[in-house]
Structures are given as structure tokens and as C-alpha cells.
């Protein structure tokens, strides 16, 4: 019997998908497709509303628009492949494609962390330093902050991607997840991966914990200011401007924290799939609802336009103008 070649290169990965739900793949495909269409449509509507309503042309809504734009790209990294795999039993992806998917998932995820942090800082300035807000949060500053968040997001996972690309893969090629990610890729390497797991943990912890610490610090100071407001109505009105952001922060940081802030492997593959779906699908699904349906200004504009016969005409005209 020939010995296995320990130096053979694995060029293809197989995603495990939803093995326990094979009988329901068509149903899952329909549900996931509806969710994806809702995410894309909801975020596009938010961007269009912010762009077309002059009263929304200030930093808070600019950051919401930037977050919506990131969500479109973030979900495009994983959901289309998941939809294709539900219709294809093989669930194959090239090693390069798998590594790129993991990289862009982390890049857009890190950029979202930074955007959410900047949004918390914006609320801190607006509530704690209202007289200085306009002079501090200038157009140049908030544009620069968003650009810095995107650049920082793309730089953050570079070290992990490079290290993982250098690992030897010579045996198992089944990724125990519904999409490619760094931890399951590291677990498939044919070598001691303790150092790589530690690097992944340190990088993820730095991004998540540092971002969350800034968010927490901003809101502690915001809450202290709100508690000093004597009027109950005033306190509720002031805090309502932060409510939507706090919900999104809790969902996003909570799900990615459970997934990446650990050194040891999870005891359950199904647990990893569930957490992965939470931050890759369900959190992006919640954002258009929270920032669209819960936001008074955006909701009012959409309701008014929906009652007008020109609403869809305006959207179609803008789409055609952008693509002509």
C-alpha cells in the first residue's frame, strides 16, 4: 500500500452546508432568497431616501447610508454562494475562492465594526457636546472617517489571509460551515496550528474588543448626560436617537463575539453554523428593519412616497439614469 503524499496540495474545498436539512433544501433556498432580496431592497431604499431627502443630509444618516452600503457587499460575499449550494449537492469551491470569501467576509465585517464605533462617537458628540457638534463633525471629517473605516477593514484581515495561504493542506477538505471562514480553514491544515489559532484570536479580539470598548465608553458618557435631563419626555426623546444603533451593536458584536473570541474549537458544528448564520444573514436582515421601519424620518418619507403614483417612477428613473 502506498503512503499518502503529505505534501500534496488541496486545490478544492467542500462546504458542509446543511446536511441535516437535505430534505428541505428547496424550502431553505426560497426562504434565504426572500431574506437576501429583502436585505438588498431595504438597504437600497435607505440609501435612496437619505440621498433624496435634504433634511437627512447630516452625519448620522450619512453613517447609516454607509452601513447600508457595506451590508450589501457584506451579504454578497456569502449568501449568493449559499443559495447556489442549496441547489447543488457538491458544494465545491476552489481553495483560492474559499480563502478570498473568508478574507472579504472579515474585511467587510471589520469595516462594519469601525462604522458602528464611529456612529457611537457621533451620538456622543451630538448629545454630550451639542454646541460644538457642527464644528467638530464637519463634512470633511465624516467623509474621512468612513473612508478610514473601509480602508481599515480591508487591512485588518490581511495578516490572517497571508498566514492561512501559507499553511500546507494535504488531507481533509470538508469545511464544517455554510461558508468559508478562517477558523475552519485553519483546522484543516496538515501541521501544528496553535500559532495560527492564536494569531486569529488576537486579531479578532483586537478588532472586536477595541471597537466595542469605544462604543461602550461613548454610551456610558451619553447615558450619564441623559440622566441629568430633568424632563422624562426629554430623556426619552434623546435616548430614542441611540436606540436603533444600540440594537444593531448588540446583535452584531454579540454574534461575532461568540464566534471569534475563543481559542478552543466549538464542541458543536451545528453551534458554529447557527452563530455563522446569525452574523452573516440575520443581523444584516435586522438592519433595514431597525434603521428603516423604526426610523421616523425614513419611515415617514417611504410612506408618503408609497402613497404617490410617482414613487416607483422615481426609483426606476434613477436606476436608468445611473446605468445609462
Residue 280 within any structural domain of the chain: yes
- pLDDT tens-digit series, residues 238-283: 777 777 788 888 888 888 887 887 766 655 667 777 778 888 888 8
Residue 8 within any structural domain of the chain: no
Residue 219 within any structural domain of the chain: yes
Of the candidate ranges 36-40, 75-79, 164-168, 170-174, the one whose mean pLDDT is the lowest: 170-174
- pLDDT tens-digit series, residues 283-313: 888 888 887 666 667 777 767 766 665 555 5
- pLDDT tens-digit series, residues 101-145: 999 999 999 999 999 999 999 999 988 898 899 899 998 999 999
Tell which wins on pLDDT, 21 or 276: 276
Angstrom distance (rounded) from CA 161 to CA 142: 29
Residue 15 within any structural domain of the chain: no
Residue 259 within any structural domain of the chain: yes
Residue 12 within any structural domain of the chain: no
Residue 19 within any structural domain of the chain: no
The reported pLDDT for the residue numbered 7 is 47
pLDDT exceeds 70 at position 88 = yes
pLDDT grade for 173, boundaries at 50, 70 and 90:
confident
Burial class, 227, CB count within 10 angstroms (exposed 0-12 / middle 13-18 / buried 19+): exposed
The mean pLDDT value of the chain amounts to: 83
The reported pLDDT for the residue numbered 316 is 52
Summarize the confidence of residues 179-207 as an average pLDDT.
Answer: 89
pLDDT grade for 320, boundaries at 50, 70 and 90:
very low
Angstrom distance (rounded) from CA 208 to CA 196: 18
Angstrom distance (rounded) from CA 158 to CA 15: 23
Task: Look up the domain containing 159 and give its range.
Answer: 25-323
Is the distance from CB of 149 to CB of 118 less than 8 angstroms? yes
Summarize the confidence of residues 213-233 as an average pLDDT.
Answer: 86
pLDDT exceeds 50 at position 1 = no
Angstrom distance (rounded) from CA 169 to CA 167: 6
| CA 48 to the chain's CA centroid | 20
Written as nine digits, the cell of 215 is: 462604543
Q: How many domains does the chain have?
A: 1
Angstrom distance (rounded) from CA 74 to CA 276: 13
- pLDDT tens-digit series, residues 23-40: 788 898 999 999 999 999
Summarize the confidence of residues 45-57 as an average pLDDT.
Answer: 84
Question: How many C-alpha atoms does 173 have within 13 Å on its Cβ side?
Answer: 20
Angstrom distance (rounded) from CA 77 to CA 98: 11
Residue 98 within any structural domain of the chain: yes
Looking up residue 202, the CATH number of its domain turns out to be 1.20.1070.10
Report pTM: 0.86
Amino acid at each position: 500500500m502506498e503512503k499518502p503524499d503529505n505534501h500534496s496540495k488541496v486545490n478544492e474545498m467542500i462546504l458542509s452546508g446543511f446536511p441535516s436539512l437535505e430534505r428541505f433544501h428547496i424550502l431553505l433556498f426560497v426562504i434565504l432568497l426572500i431574506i437576501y432580496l429583502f436585505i438588498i431592497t431595504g438597504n437600497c431604499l435607505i440609501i435612496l431616501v437619505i440621498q433624496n431627502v435634504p433634511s437627512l443630509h447630516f452625519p448620522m444618516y450619512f453613517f447609516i447610508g454607509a452601513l447600508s452600503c457595506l451590508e450589501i457587499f457584506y451579504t454578497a460575499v456569502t449568501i449568493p454562494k449559499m443559495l447556489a449550494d442549496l441547489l447543488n449537492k457538491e458544494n465545491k469551491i476552489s481553495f483560492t475562492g474559499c480563502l478570498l470569501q473568508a478574507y472579504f467576509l472579515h474585511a467587510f465585517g471589520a469595516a462594519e465594526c469601525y462604522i458602528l464605533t464611529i456612529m457611537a462617537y457621533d451620538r456622543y458628540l451630538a448629545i454630550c457636546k451639542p454646541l460644538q457638534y457642527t464644528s467638530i463633525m464637519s463634512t470633511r471629517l465624516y467623509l474621512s472617517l468612513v473612508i478610514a473605516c473601509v480602508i481599515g477593514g480591508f487591512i485588518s484581515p490581511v495578516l490572517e489571509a497571508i498566514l492561512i495561504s501559507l499553511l500546507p493542506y494535504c488531507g481533509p477538505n470538508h469545511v464544517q460551515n455554510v461558508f468559508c471562514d478562517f477558523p475552519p480553514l485553519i483546522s484543516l491544515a496538515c501541521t501544528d496550528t496553535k500559532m495560527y489559532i492564536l494569531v486569529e484570536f488576537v486579531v479578532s479580539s483586537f478588532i472586536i474588543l477595541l471597537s466595542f470598548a469605544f462604543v461602550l465608553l461613548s454610551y456610558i458618557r451619553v447615558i450619564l448626560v441623559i440622566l441629568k435631563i430633568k424632563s422624562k419626555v426629554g430623556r426619552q426623546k434623546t435616548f430614542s436617537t441611540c436606540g436603533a444603533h444600540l440594537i444593531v451593536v448588540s446583535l452584531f458584536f454579540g454574534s461575532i463575539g461568540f464566534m471569534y473570541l475563543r481559542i478552543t474549537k466549538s464542541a458543536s458544528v451545528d453551534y458554529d453554523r447557527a452563530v455563522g448564520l446569525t452574523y452573516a444573514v440575520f443581523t444584516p436582515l435586522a438592519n433595514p428593519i431597525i434603521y428603516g421601519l423604526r426610523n421616523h424620518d425614513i419611515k415617514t418619507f417611504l410612506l408618503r412616497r408609497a402613497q404617490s403614483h410617482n414613487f416607483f417612477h422615481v426609483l426606476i428613473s434613477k436606476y436608468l439614469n445611473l446605468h445609462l
